[in-house]
Chain A
Amino acid sequence: MIAEYIVGLSGLIAAALFIYSLKSMSSPVTAVKGIVVAGYGMLLVVLASFFSIFNVSGEAASHLPINILLAIIALVLGGVWAAWKGKRVQMTAMPQMVALYNGMGGGSAAALAAVELLGGRYTSSLSLLIAFLGALIGCVSLTGSVIAWAKLDSRLNTYRYSQQKAVNAVLFGLTIILGLIAVINYGPDDSGIFAILFYVGALAFGICMTLPIGGADMPVVISLYNAFTGLAVGLEGYVMDSPALMIAGMVVGSAGTLLTVLMAKAMNRSLSNVLFSNFGDSTAQSSADTEQKEMKSVDPADAATTMRYAASVIIVPGYGLAVAQAQQKLYETVKLLQDAGVDVKFAIHPVAGRMPGHMNVLLAEAGVPYDMIFDMDEINESFPNTDVALVIGANDVVNPSARSDKSSPIYGMPILDVDKAHEVFIIKRGRGKGYSGVENPLFFNENSTMVFGDAQAVLSKMVEALKALKGV
């Protein structure tokens, strides 16, 4: 009886701490404290859950010593592996790592439903139905996240074939039917074959659903699976009679859904568009006329000199900067410009990097203070009064055809108005297209000048040039 209260109360405290911690994360000042607080909550509730061994009775009691040993081994193995991976992962690889951890959570929810099924502990068909629903969502989240991880880690390519949508729909329908049959058949003399097939179907559906989604849409998908896992955890929480799981799961479920919608909106893609249509198929139809125009290009040192004598510079970094590992060099350049009295700001598009906010993390890693970094909405009106805009490794998020060209696949996506700055420098490795394969007329504009080269090399030359100017 007392054990039950300890488990219940610690769950209540943890749930409160989780909500408080999410709230703290609304400001960079309190965010670190927030995650630490959530950590205490988690520690408390995990330790307290060991008190539930006092409630184990009957047949399970004889297995308890082995089960406790298994639990401790699993906790240590899983925890140490994940912590070790998490400490070592590069900041650029963060989105796929989050995807992987999220998939593990989904898998855990699905597996826990399976254990309860095997134990035959369901009393009503309603809780059975909810357990299956949670298992379905958890399975999709598990395999879907693994596919998303593999894609972002460049281990897997997008895979499409004709009639894919129909095949996926049939697979989904089949899985649902199998689940319903398993629910109806459930009983002491059920062989469980339908439940097993249901699990196989659900896992396969997660793979099939994620395979055709393009790499550019992956952040939205990861966020969606994050919400999925939350929902699965919430549903299994009902089945396990644990309000803490229900609250934590559902809070993440709704917050994750909102975050997913915000991300999709920032990319001007509706959620159904991301999931059920193929992006990037309609490339190279438009903008035939822009190809005749010439790109101007300039030496890195000249570009640096221009910025040195400008009053204001806005820097627009993209994922290409992180690929070149040039954040440190960039900040070095910025500090030299600031020493020379130039007003320097960073402008970040909501989907810069591989995930909203990813670029902020990458810049923070290089030591850039967060009050130098501005959102798209905050900074867009300052571009017309800015002397120089410096674009590094970004492409689609500064593509003016998103504003004007209705035939462009990215038409309607909100962009950073760099083309309105007096002068635009674009550091780019080659003349190729961006991640989504869309042509960018910005590169051919009157006030645009290309600086060709690897971001790291170009910025090194800029630093040299700026240091030389300082010596004069």
Chain B
Amino acid sequence: MAISSMTFLVALYIFMLAAFTGYVVISRVPSILHTPLMSGSNFIHGIVVVGALEALFHATTLPAQIIGFFAVLLGAGNVMGGYVVTNRMLEMFKPSTKTTDKTSGKRG
């Protein structure tokens, strides 16, 4: 794929909309979930691994291959680590036994 075929103005539109989205979505999160949330957003920017993969596929010289390898390695660590840690934290949040009984009763 060519580098930067979209106009810079379109890019600015995307950035602007994404920035507002992030702001609105986060402003409703209660503080008890702030740590998992930071970890979760940490996982999401792990999408950088996709860019790293593409850069590595296009690498032609040895230095580019080596740096590309590390780009993918670090990105993969970001993704997997972020996911595992966030999932572990969120799974621990449980309501009181009363409410759990209700939901399990519904299921059964």
Contact = CB atoms under 8 A, between A and B. Distances in A.
Interface in A304-338: none
Contacts of B20: 254
B45 A78 contact: no
B59 A60 contact: yes
B72 A74 contact: yes
A436 interface: no
A379 interface: no
A107 B95 contact: no
Nearest to B58: A60
Given A28-B32, A46-B53, A111-B52, A367 B38 contact: no
Contact of B72 (A75, A81, A370): A75
Please classify how large the interface on chain A is, using the bins under 10, 10 to 19, 20 to 34, 35 or more.
35 or more
A77 interface: yes
Contacts of B78: 82, 101-102, 104-105, 108
Contacts of A244: 47, 50
A87 B88 CA distance: 8
A255 B26 contact: yes
B76 A82 contact: yes
Contact of B3 (A59, A87, A116): A116
Contacts of A187: none
Contacts of A74: 56, 69-70, 72-73, 76
Contacts of B36: 25, 31, 35, 357, 361
Interface in A149-188: none
Contacts of B8: 126
Given A101-B81, A226-B42, A241 B3 contact: yes
Given A60-B57, A67-B56, A105-B74, A32 B90 contact: yes
A39 interface: yes
B94 interface: yes
A240 B81 contact: no
Interface residues of B, number: 88
B68 A111 contact: yes
B80 to A, nearest CB: 4
A408 interface: no
Interface string A225-247: 01001101110111111111111
Given A233-B48, A375-B30, A370 B42 contact: no
B35 A108 contact: no
A239 B106 CA distance: 50
A248 B47 contact: yes
Interface in B20-67: 20-23, 25-61, 63-65, 67
Contacts of A50: 53
A365 interface: yes
Given A108-B75, A229-B45, A244-B50, A56 B57 contact: yes
B53 A71 contact: yes
Contact of B18 (A78, A234, A370): A234
A365 B93 CA distance: 8
A453 interface: no
A82 B32 contact: no
Interface string A92-105: 00110110111011
A49 B50 contact: yes
A223 B42 CA distance: 9
A52 B49 CA distance: 14
B48 A78 contact: no
Interface in A250-266: 250-256, 258-259, 262-263, 266
A262 B35 CA distance: 13
B55 A22 contact: no
A249 B43 CA distance: 11
B104 interface: no
Contact of B5 (A78, A229, A241, A356): A241
A402 interface: no
Given A127-B4, A250-B15, 10 more contacts: A28-B33, A31-B33, A31-B90, A86-B84, A102-B45, A119-B61, A255-B23, A360-B33, A375-B31, A375-B32
15 contacts: A22-B25, A27-B30, A28-B32, A39-B83, A78-B77, A100-B81, A101-B85, A108-B52, A118-B61, A226-B45, A242-B50, A254-B19, A369-B99, A370-B95, A375-B30
Interface of B: 1-6, 8, 11, 14-15, 18-23, 25-61, 63-65, 67-97, 99
Interface of A: 4, 11, 14, 18-19, 21-23, 25-29, 31-32, 34-36, 38-39, 42, 45-46, 49-50, 52-53, 55-56, 59-60, 63-64, 66-68, 70-71, 73-83, 85-87, 89, 91, 94-95, 97-98, 100-102, 104-105, 107-109, 111-112, 114-116, 118-119, 121-124, 126-127, 222-223, 226, 229-230, 232-234, 236-256, 258-259, 262-263, 266, 348, 350, 353, 355-358, 360-361, 364-365, 367, 369-373, 375
